[in-house]
Amino acid sequence: MAGGAVGPGIILDLSRMNAIGEIDRQAMTVQAEPGVICRTVDDAARKAGLRFPVDPSSAPFCTIGGMVSTNAAGPHSLKFGAMRKWVSSLDCVFADGTRARLTRGSPPPSNALLEKFLDREGEIRKEWSAAASDHARLRKDSSGYALARYFETGDLLDLLVGSEGTLAIVVSVELSLAPLASHTSSLLASFPSLESAARGAEIARTSGASACELLDKTFLELAATAPESTDASRERARKSAAVLLVEMEDAEESVGVKRTDQLKAALQGSGADTVEVALSADSEKEVWELRHAASPILSRLKNAISMQFIEDGVVPPEKLPEYVQGVRDALARRAIPGVIFGHAGDAHVHVNPLIDVTNPSWRDSMAALLEDVVTLTAQLGGSLCGEHGDGRLRTPLMGRVWSAPAMRAFEGVKSCFDPHGLLNPGVKVPIAGETSLGAIKYDPALPSLTGDVRRILDDLVARRGYADFRLSLVDGIS
């Protein structure tokens, strides 16, 4: 999504490395190759009475390798954490061609590049000690290398997860699994303003919610126009400025009902206009279908392109109301409509500007909006990516939200694992002269794809996607 898997070099397609092992019920683990689809892992786990709790909205088509690469997360990361927590072993090929397996809690294997990093660890730690407060108040962060976590645990797995293929190529993963939920209940709270909904998210988080998702009015209005919309969704779009979808998970139903009632009262007291409670499986499914429809609905828009270039910002929880207000102001200032939704419980929301690429000045407007939001995020002590990674989109901007010592520490890590810059150059460590938006491909002036290439891409989208092929949305491109 952030351009982490593209570039001028050789692109490794690991999608056919898609073998999955047997579920180990006793150890609650499973082996998976990088091309295995996330939903495939969860389906297999559920048949064994377990679950894979990392649940991005792209679960039907995103791969385990990609999730390891960006330290992916999802709605239930509020309770269960992101991908890093659920990786217990990695089989990696390093930049010098050597292969080694790293297992959580075990000493690192003998490997020249790993030993080089361990030899320089003191030097890198010294740089990092001057940057330790960077991003320390965030609940999620997939920017840079996870040095804070590594220096806490001393486990190289924590450094490799989220490194976006810049330190090693992952060829197999052992994943930890979790027990199935005993009892869940969901709430749908409607608010008179986006900012009051953001304040409600903090109440949900501190109440022990297992998930807390935000949908703004623009999204509600788009959802109300979908063919599958209901009278209730159309009424909600008319009356509400934003909604929160909240899930509570408990071991016993009686405890869950009590906690849900308490949270309902707290949300009403915080300014919610209405709070609907869903206790049955069917009613819960109906509530959460609204959230899962977000990205597919946005991807099918015909009059504008939902672009992801400020889509992954995360701030300290107490700063979320200020962040969403600042983003709204920036969108209005640039006269760009946009949708705000996502993981409000973690103060991590997705912002999808709806760009009219037929306007000759769309690139200038896009660049100005990006500048506004980067400045806002830095002022609030936030990160530009909570789960999607730095990629080529955000790597040139990392110095805006990380201190100079942090950037030097990242360079030190990269030089140990990949001294010749072979692995995903331009990601995690900036290359001089590269810009964030320089490689954006939405442009009617682009040459047409050949028939064979277009058929292959259309087939890929049909098998793995959920929307229209993006190039179909731009007039003049076939």
pLDDT confidence of residue 444: 59
Q: Give residue 317's domain range.
A: 299-400
Does a structural domain hold residue 395?
Answer: yes
> Cα(380)–Cα(185) distance, rounded to whole angstroms?
33
Does a structural domain hold residue 176?
Answer: no
Residue 235 and residue 316 in one domain: no
Does a structural domain hold residue 393?
Answer: yes
pLDDT confidence of residue 443: 60
pLDDT confidence of residue 303: 65
- What is the domain count for the chain? 3
Burial environment of residue 433 by CB neighbours within 10 A (0 to 12, 13 to 18, 19 or more) = exposed
pLDDT confidence of residue 251: 82
Name residue, tokens 């840079």. 144
Residue 278 and residue 351 in one domain: no
Q: What is the CATH number of the domain that holds 388?
A: 3.30.70.2740
- Global pTM? 0.90
Does a structural domain hold residue 140?
Answer: no
Residue 377 and residue 460 in one domain: no
pLDDT confidence of residue 447: 66
Q: What is the CATH number of the domain that holds 259?
A: 3.30.70.2190
What tens digit of pLDDT does each residue of 113-123 get?
Answer: 999 999 999 99
Q: Are 313 and 384 in contact (CB under 8 A)?
A: yes
Residue 256 and residue 324 in one domain: no
Query: Residue ranges of the chain with pLDDT lower than 70?
Result: 1, 227-229, 279-281, 283-284, 286-287, 290-296, 299-303, 439, 441-447, 460-478
pLDDT confidence of residue 478: 31
In this structure, what token pair is assigned to residue 78? 């509020």
Does a structural domain hold residue 334?
Answer: yes
Residue 187 and residue 262 in one domain: yes
What tens digit of pLDDT does each residue of 390-407 get?
Answer: 999 999 999 999 999 999
Residue 352 and residue 304 in one domain: yes
Residue 208 and residue 221 in one domain: yes
Does a structural domain hold residue 45?
Answer: no
pLDDT confidence of residue 55: 93
In this structure, what token pair is assigned to residue 326? 């600042």
Residue 202 and residue 271 in one domain: yes
Does a structural domain hold residue 280?
Answer: yes
Does a structural domain hold residue 383?
Answer: yes
